[in-house]
Amino acid sequence: MPTKRVTSHDVARQAGVSRATVSLVLNRSESVVIAKETRERVLRAAGELGYKPNSAARMLVSGQSETIGLIVSDPSILLVDQFVTQVLYGVETANRQLGLHVLVAGLESDGPGSTYDDLVESRRIDGLIVLNPKAGDAALISLIEKDFPLVLVGSVRHPREVAVTFATRPALMKAVDHVVGLGHRRVGAITFSPRSFIATEARLAALEAGLRAHGLALDADAIEIGDFSPESGHCAGLALLSRRPDVTAIFAGNDTIAIGVLSAAHALGRTVPQDLSLVGFDDLPFAPWLTPALTTIRTDGVHQGQIATQMLFERLNGRSPAVPRVRLEPDFIVRASTGSAKP
């Protein structure tokens, strides 16, 4: 790019006005201080020269970068589970609509954790959205307590956090009602992460509560721990069904794990839903097209990303969001992977 940059100075010269006037015309949209004729001359000059303000200079003087950071915890989850991508898409589109740029940064759980400071202290971003935040993340807590404009997609259970989460309990209750209504009595679960993660614990608790309402229990040896991936679903499914062959219904931590469970069931000679009922979580785009089509709980990740963006936008404009913690309600979707328990 050997081309010379066009500055506001060039525009001013071409329009026969001062640089200050150019700036006023281009920024103060409806202020009447500028004569109509002058305004038009400036706009024409800017157009002809193809003037685009230098973002760095503008950032420097205004203190704003018009950019938000999107931190993805454990980015390798992106590789295996499509849900994170749904949120990312929601965040990107919503910000584009608002005229904001999105800087994506992965945060390795074993890394230095300085990623936040790199972005925040250097004033490279105005606000932050954090995907899958970890409760023990000290740097993150510190930012929350400094009141830095930050929205969590997930939760670290901090009293002052601003977050978008899912109220999974109602949908899980419906799912349990459905499964128990089909006659299942021995139910298993495969989580997408260790119980220490807030979302995992909350979902297991909801599941247990739901079963308890029907006089049933979620046995400790009917729980397996996965890691988001189909492979982990397969392994956990094999382990669970081998240890507890009497289990007739499994709740998977997400749809991706459910794929692996389907494969495990098949490997063990059990047909879904005749010999085993399976419930997924998320309703990813492939869920209706698995064989059998997956009964699942629909969490709208795109929407979650959009809401997070909207809340961050409020904070960036100095307004504290009307509701600091938004809880979205997932739907329960019945398809073909759940069926009557054998008598």
Q: Which of 58, 158, 244, 266 binds DNA (CB under 7 A)?
A: 58
- Cα(297)–Cα(213) distance, rounded to whole angstroms? 20
38 binds DNA (CB under 7 A): yes
Distance set, CA 254 to CA 161, 280, 295 (Å): 25, 5, 11
302 contact, one of its own copies, DNA, none, CB 5-8 Å limit per kind: its own copies
Q: Rule CB under 7 A: is residue 24 a binding residue for DNA?
A: yes
As a whole number of angstroms, the distance between CA 183 and CA 185 comes to 6
# residues contacting DNA (CB under 7 A): 29
**CA nearest to 313, candidates 28, 102, 26:** 102
User: Pick from 2, 39, 47: which is nearest to 22 by CA?
Assistant: 39
Helix (H, G, I), strand (E, B) or coil at 162: coil
User: Which amino acid would we find at residue 29?
Assistant: S
102 forms part of the interface with its own copies (CB under 8 A):
yes
Peptide bond into 273 cis (omega under 30): yes
Dihedral sign, CA of 79, 83, 86, 90? negative
Return the one option of its own copies, DNA, none that residue 289 interacts with (CB less than 5 to 8 A, by type): its own copies
Which of 12, 27, 25 lies closest to 61, judged by CA?
27
User: Mask 224-253, x = binds its own copies (CB under 8 A)?
Assistant: -----xxx-xx-------------------
* Look-up of token digits 């609509």: 97
- Nearest CB to DNA, comparing residues 27 and 109: 27
Q: Does 65 bind DNA (CB under 7 A)?
A: no
Comparing CB distances to its own copies, the nearer of 194 and 285 is 285
* 124 contacts its own copies (rule: CB under 8 A): yes
Site residues for its own copies, window 13-72 (CB under 8 A)? 50, 52-57, 59-60, 65, 67, 70
- Check: CB of residue 273 under 8 Å from CB of residue 294: no
| Pair of tokens at residue 14 | 């071409």
Q: Taking a C-beta distance cutoff of 8 angstroms, is the pair 273, 290 a contact?
A: no
Q: Tell me whether strands 277-279 and 296-298 are parallel, antiparallel or unpaired.
A: unpaired
Among 3, 29, 61, 289, binds DNA (CB under 7 A): 61
Of the candidate residues 98, 263, 321, 328, the single one contacting its own copies (CB under 8 A): 263
263-288 b/e with 16+ CB inside 10 Å = b? bbbeeeebebbeebbbbbbbbbeebe
Is 20 or 79 the residue whose CB approaches DNA more closely? Answer: 20
> Counting beta carbons within 10 angstroms of the beta carbon of residue 91, is it exposed (0 to 12), middle (13 to 18) or buried (19 or more)?
buried
Applying CB under 7 A, the span of 8-16, 177-185, 224-232, 300-308 interacting with DNA comes to: 8-16
Number of residues located near its own copies, criterion CB under 8 A: 64
Does position 75 interact with its own copies (CB under 8 A)? The reply is yes
Rule CB under 8 A: is residue 82 a binding residue for its own copies? yes
- Binding residues for its own copies, per CB under 8 A? 1-3, 5, 50, 52-57, 59-60, 65, 67, 70, 75-76, 78-80, 82, 85-86, 88-89, 92-93, 96, 101-106, 117-119, 121-124, 146-148, 229-231, 233-234, 256, 259-260, 262-263, 266, 285-286, 288-291, 293, 302
- Binding residues for DNA, per CB under 7 A? 5, 7-9, 16-21, 23-24, 26-28, 32-35, 37-38, 51, 53-54, 57-58, 60-62
